[in-house]
Structure 1
Amino acid sequence: MEPNYWSTLSEDVLENEILSKLCFADLYRFGGVCKPWKSLCGPLKFRNHLPWLIVPPPPSINSNKTMVYQDENVGFYSLCDGKVYKAKIPQLCNRRICASFLGGWLMTIHENSEVQLFNPLSTRPPLNLPPLDKFPGVQRKFKKQVCFEFPKLFYTGTRGNFYAVHASGPVVVIHGLDTIPYAERLISDHPERSNLAGLTYILESAGDLLVLFRSVVGHKGAEEANDEYPHWPHKTVGFKVLKLEFGSPNRWVELKTLGDRALFVGYNSSFSLLASTFSGCKPNHIYFTDNLWGYFQGQHFGGQDFGIFNLEDGSIQKFLYPPDAILVLPPPIWFAANPPSS
């Protein structure tokens, strides 16, 4: 075979005969060969790929007893085959992934509070954002379990506005982002929120503004318990999906079905996709990861509350990574290379 054989292959051959058969980690390595090949691996090429879970490397503890992430080898967990594929991403070395967005964008943070946006599928260099310590209300903690804490707000942009939900339930719209921001409450907490112990998410789905209440309970069972670890700290038992119906006044409407949509929720990454456009994606289901930090910091267990919730019958299909671990820290985060219009 001639040394330059690969460079003579047409884009059609590369895309249809090679790229279509590769997992994400192999696609990332493929794109690292040269810029022309990198351009073939952009987000648009992943329109029909089910989201992956990024599995960060385990942190090490520095002299200040703070978690640092010095390993550039990142795992990508496939929901399709249950396997983890490794890829070396130097731009993630010494940085923690703190959020992800549709289109393959990751928000990362350095231990010195420097924040960047980075897309492993793009040829663009990382984008520098204002340091985290410039934002009010952000606390830095020097603990083995926690490096940074964010205010208990989760955001989404829809209807041309910027919305947030507090962990306790109320939804607000944020005004004045270009001047002095302030929040206007749109609706009070849902009356049943006080009966649900767990997490709250906000996201846009097919133009609707949805709020999800995730019910989590502490769990003790003989099948998990042993002499050394007598309890299993928590597990998700259900979701309540509410749509905020705008009007006079605004009101909650509980959804009993998502139609052909599938929701993905987790640690600083929640979004909706049209299930029929993704091979293996289950409509009317909620894919969730374990991001209830308060339950497993300092515990022997945690980071394994992953699953797929069936909104129709309330059943949950569990999946674990890694299957032989009892503490996964930090927890995986969704990675969706699909463009935001999906």
Structure 2
Amino acid sequence: MEHIKPIFNQDGVLDKYEMSYYNGKIPRVEETPYEFDLPEYREVYYKAMLSSNPSSGDCIVMLIHQPYSQLSFARVGEDHWNWIPIGLFYTDCIYHKGWFYTVSVLGAVDAFNLNGPSVVHKRILKDMLTLGYEQMYIVQSPWGDILIVNRMTIIPRNGNPEIEETELYTSDIVVYKADIGEQKLVNLTGIGDYALFIGHNTSSCLPVKDCHMLMPNHVYITDDEYLWLLEFRHKRRDVGIYSLENNSLSNVVSPEPWKSWLPPIWMMPNLMKTGFQDQNNGGD
């Protein structure tokens, strides 16, 4: 990557990485570079989004990374990342019909088409929030709307501000519809017979009629509070099921087995490859 430089020891063995801090502003202003040990290098990356199955050969990967939650992309077969010096503090990304859509901490939505020789960029929704909360997500709904999800977390202190607790949990989730024409966010009271999945994974919205174990009008969450995960790797992760109807958070299972790094993600298996569908149809 453009802002990452490998550092080799006297024997020519890769020892560290050095990351330069700068953004797309001209003239460029650089802060003091930061050195990462090899195990720490994962901390440079926040989230990656694929345009298609990499085996197709024409896959593009969009990456949200340090510093300042910027964007870079690469195509399968390339040997480098392409920096997009346009925006800062992106938190989530989806791919839909040839475009990557990103959301920032203030609710701004940018669209990027990377299929041509140059990057095509559109600001489709301006900053909608006056304060940046812990995490924002962008979701393509099955009914066609772009959803923006605002997730807020708190640190419980049992009423005593002098007591420093080391467990973080989600206190509130608000779901908005992005009204591109009116340039505003519309607060939704619920999502009906659908369930949301947010975290380090691709943010998704699924109909519960196709997945009978899911609860409608609920948000399934995993822990992706970046700084918290780095500082308190061995504490309980913020994982649960949030009801949009009564604003309550419940456990996925009890007792909860996740207590340390790495943070979990939601995964949707391909039933065609597991043989599940053949078994249901009477096959082997």
TM-score range normalised by the length of the shorter chain: 0.5 to 0.7
What is the SS of the residue equivalent to 1:197?
Answer: coil
Provide Cα deviations, 1:223-247, integer angstroms capped at 9, x if missing partner: xxx9xxx522421111110111232
1:186 is matched with which residue?
124
Deviation at 1:287, TM superposition (A): 0.3
C-alpha contact (below 8 Å) 2:102/2:110 kept by paired residues:
yes
C-alpha contact (below 8 Å) 1:100/1:268 kept by paired residues:
no
Structure 1: tracts of 5 or more residues without a match: 1-61, 69-95, 108-114, 116-126, 139-149
* Letter of the structure 2 residue corresponding to residue 261 of structure 1: Y
C-alpha contact (below 8 Å) 1:295/1:302 kept by paired residues:
no
* Letter of the structure 1 residue corresponding to residue 136 of structure 2: T
2:81 is matched with which residue?
134
Provide Cα deviations, 1:170-214, integer angstroms capped at 9, x if missing partner: 1122245413214322222224x51x6310100101211001010
State how far apart, in whole Å, the 1-side matches of 2:198 and 2:234 are. Answer: 21
Q: In the superposition, relative to structure 1, how do residues 160 and 235 fare at CA in structure 2: closer, same or farther (>3 Å)?
A: same
**Which of 176, 179, 182 is residue 242 of structure 1 equivalent to?**
176
Deviation at 1:277, TM superposition (A): 1.4
Provide Cα deviations, 1:287-326, integer angstroms capped at 9, x if missing partner: 0100111123133644610011101110111247984664
State how far apart, in whole Å, the 2-side matches of 1:319 and 1:221 are. Answer: 24
TM-score (norm 2): 0.61
1:256 is matched with which residue?
189
Structure 2: tracts of 5 or more residues without a match: 1-13, 17-36, 56-60, 62-74, 272-284
Work out which structure has the larger RCO, using CA pairs closer than 8 Å and 6 or more positions apart in sequence: 1
Deviation at 1:281, TM superposition (A): 0.4
Q: Does 1:329 align with 2:261?
A: yes
State how far apart, in whole Å, the 1-side matches of 2:145 and 2:83 are. Answer: 30
Q: Does 1:171 align with 2:104?
A: no
C-alpha contact (below 8 Å) 1:100/1:333 kept by paired residues:
no
Deviation at 1:266, TM superposition (A): 0.8
Deviation at 1:100, TM superposition (A): 7.4
State how far apart, in whole Å, the 2-side matches of 1:299 and 1:306 are. Answer: 15
Q: In the superposition, relative to structure 1, how do residues 302 and 186 fare at CA in structure 2: closer, same or farther (>3 Å)?
A: farther
Q: Does 1:218 align with 2:155?
A: yes
Q: In the superposition, relative to structure 1, how do residues 331 and 176 fare at CA in structure 2: closer, same or farther (>3 Å)?
A: closer
2:209 is matched with which residue?
276
Any residues of structure 2 matched to 1:1-342 within 5 Å, and which?
Answer: 65-67=37-39, 99=48, 130-131=78-79, 133-136=80-83, 152-158=90-96, 161-175=99-113, 177-191=115-129, 194=131, 197-206=133-142, 207-221=144-158, 231-247=165-181, 249-299=182-232, 301-302=234-235, 304-319=237-252, 323=256, 326=259, 328-337=260-269
Q: How many pairs does the alignment contain?
A: 212
* Letter of the structure 2 residue corresponding to residue 283 of structure 1: P
What is the SS of the residue equivalent to 2:212?
Answer: coil
C-alpha contact (below 8 Å) 1:99/1:106 kept by paired residues:
no
C-alpha RMSD of the superposition: 4.0
State how far apart, in whole Å, the 1-side matches of 2:193 and 2:239 are. Answer: 22
Provide Cα deviations, 1:102-140, integer angstroms capped at 9, x if missing partner: 99x699xxxxxxx8xxxxxxxxxxx95545x523269xx
C-alpha contact (below 8 Å) 1:165/1:172 kept by paired residues:
yes
State how far apart, in whole Å, the 2-side matches of 1:129 and 1:237 are. Answer: 43
* Letter of the structure 2 residue corresponding to residue 240 of structure 1: V
* Letter of the structure 1 residue corresponding to residue 193 of structure 2: D
* Letter of the structure 2 residue corresponding to residue 166 of structure 1: S
C-alpha contact (below 8 Å) 1:291/1:303 kept by paired residues:
no
2:25 is matched with which residue?
none
What is the SS of the residue equivalent to 1:184?
Answer: strand
Q: In the superposition, relative to structure 1, how do residues 129 and 273 fare at CA in structure 2: closer, same or farther (>3 Å)?
A: farther
C-alpha contact (below 8 Å) 1:306/1:320 kept by paired residues:
no
Task: Kindly indicate which of the two structures has a greater share of residues assigned to strand.
Answer: 2
C-alpha contact (below 8 Å) 1:257/1:311 kept by paired residues:
yes
Q: In the superposition, relative to structure 1, how do residues 184 and 160 fare at CA in structure 2: closer, same or farther (>3 Å)?
A: same
**Kindly, what percent of the aligned residue pairs are identical?**
24
State how far apart, in whole Å, the 2-side matches of 1:162 and 1:102 are. Answer: 8
Deviates more, 1:285-294 or 1:196-205: 196-205
C-alpha contact (below 8 Å) 2:233/2:261 kept by paired residues:
no
